[in-house]
Amino acid sequence: MKTIRETVDTKTETVMITGNKPLRGTVTVQGSKNAALPIIAACALINGKVTLYNVPNIYDIRMLINILESLGAKYTFEMNVLEIDCSELQNGVVTEEFTTQIRASSLLLGPLLARFGRAELGMPGGCSIGSRPLDIHMSGFEKLGAVTKLEYGVISIGAESLEGEFHLPLPSVGATQNLVMSAMGAKKPVMLHNIAIEPEVMDMIHFLQEAGAEIEYISETKSLMIHPCKLSTHVTYHVQSDRVEAGTLLCAGLITKGEVTVTDINPYHMQAMLATMEQMGADVSTTENSVTVAYKEPLRSVDITTMVYPGFPTDMQPQFGALFTQAEGRSMITETLFNSRFRYFEEMRKMNAQVKLDSHGHTCMVERSQLTGCKVEGHDLRGTAALVLAGLSAEGISFVTGLRHMYRGYEDFITKLNHLGANIIYV
């Protein structure tokens, strides 16, 4: 199979935004970053060719593919279709040269352990949004019979076989995904309790079931019963669309007093954010695979608390933080999952955002603000997107730099905004 290697984006780091222009129109949502990453990691379990459709062409995806390539995989990736063959993977060792670039490299622990009986991984990197330890992953591996070690910044895991039960102390998305993939190599049943039930987790499970995995979900207890199985050598799968990109585009319409429709998306996966928009006074309408949100004056202040699914998603907190600057009254944001996710407000204050953070960095009060254009810098994926939204609403011209962070999760975000009527140019 022909190998195509892509590394970093060549797009510019900075955009110039002429604000205060209502966005109107319809756009199609990209494939889900947070679903595609674990599914691609799970391809390491398949001793043959996998064809994935609707894979977003973004930095994190290409980095994970390149890691698998370094282990012996062959692939092509064109027009959002990934064909990857992991039948010639050589070992389960991933060096920090790759892992420091992408947090999702940690998702290779489970499948490499299942395939080779051992996995060795440099400590993962990713966005600077606070502490994201792997302790639940490690505890789960150990409970199921693996031996783990963290030494000199390298994670090592080994197991002759996995079996037994593990109750996740918290419904961690990454730990759930890693433990499910590791169980693909088990010779006896594995039971996981209190799992994460995010749509992206379920999409990975559906992919594995399509590959022949025998996984039973028990909704009453949020548990999985995983039986020993032999996976197929050829799998074709369509990755679900990205609810976070959809929510970000809808926020762009609201913050500019416009009306935006996103298509190729499951509204059921967006219930918490759509309910929040309705509480703010927006008109929200849905079909089986689309959502339309229209501005209705005035937007009202609301309070949100980030939670695991089906609660309000932490990955939408910064975008709603920007949106709250245009709502009457005072909104409160409580961040329960990450301890450094308000950094974008430090930049937004330069635009005259009226915000007050508590001393612990978990709660923020946001008041209606007359944003004015200036130069700001993004420091993480969703925070950078929030600054772009603020620039769309601001009076005058804004320069947003640090877009390399945004390219990690959004494929054609600026192009889509301009299609809706924004005035954004790369500089």
Specify whether 86 is catalytic. Answer: no
103 known member of a binding site: yes
Global pTM? 0.95
pLDDT at 157 over 70: yes
Identify the pLDDT of residue 340.
76
Burial class (CB in 10 A: 0-12, 13-18, 19+), 254: buried
319 and 209 within one domain? no
Identify the pLDDT of residue 3.
38
pLDDT at 4 over 80: no
Cβ-contact 400, 17 below 8 angstroms: yes
- Rounded distance between C-alpha atoms, residue 164 and residue 124, angstroms: 27
**At 210, phi and psi to the nearest 5?**
-65, -30
Identify the pLDDT of residue 125.
66
276 and 159 within one domain? no
Q: Locate tokens 């440099």: which residue?
A: 122
- Rounded distance between C-alpha atoms, residue 183 and residue 226, angstroms: 7
303 known member of a binding site: no
Residue 268: other Cβ atoms inside 10 A: 12
pLDDT digits (tens, 9 = 90+) for 88-147: 999 999 988 888 889 899 999 999 999 999 999 998 864 443 444 799 999 999 999 999
Question: Which residues sit opposite 261 in a β-bridge?
Answer: 26, 292
349 known member of a binding site: no
362 and 268 within one domain? yes
Identify the pLDDT of residue 33.
98
pLDDT at 221 over 90: yes
20 known member of a binding site: no
Domain boundary among 217, 238, 259: 238
pLDDT digits (tens, 9 = 90+) for 29-58: 999 999 999 999 999 999 999 999 999 999
- Rounded distance between C-alpha atoms, residue 422 and residue 183, angstroms: 47
Identify the pLDDT of residue 133.
72
290, 297, 302: which is closest to 250 by C-alpha?
290
Task: Take residue 346 and report the two structure tokens written for it.
Answer: 């430090």
Cβ-contact 330, 367 below 8 angstroms: yes
Catalytic annotation, pick one of 43, 127, 251, 364: 127
Residue 284 carries which DSSP code?
E
**CA atoms within a 13 Å half-sphere pointing along the CA-CB vector of 277:** 32
* Domains identified in the chain, total number: 2
Domain with residue 164: its CATH number is 3.65.10.10
402, 364, 362: which is closest to 381 by C-alpha?
402
Domain boundary among 238, 260, 277: 238
97 and 245 within one domain? no
Task: Take residue 292 and report the two structure tokens written for it.
Answer: 């339309």
pLDDT at 8 over 50: no
Identify the pLDDT of residue 11.
66
pLDDT digits (tens, 9 = 90+) for 79-90: 999 999 999 999
- Rounded distance between C-alpha atoms, residue 319 and residue 323, angstroms: 6
Identify the pLDDT of residue 338.
82
Residue 218 lies in a domain: yes
214 and 262 within one domain? no
Identify the pLDDT of residue 341.
87
Average pLDDT, the chain: 94
Bridge-based pairing state of the strands 423-426 and 363-367: unpaired
162 and 71 within one domain? yes
408 known member of a binding site: no
Residue 3 lies in a domain: no
- Rounded distance between C-alpha atoms, residue 321 and residue 387, angstroms: 10
Residue 4 lies in a domain: no
70 and 160 within one domain? yes
Q: Which domain holds residue 180?
A: 33-238
pLDDT digits (tens, 9 = 90+) for 165-210: 999 999 999 999 999 999 999 999 999 999 999 999 999 999 999 9
Residue 6 lies in a domain: no
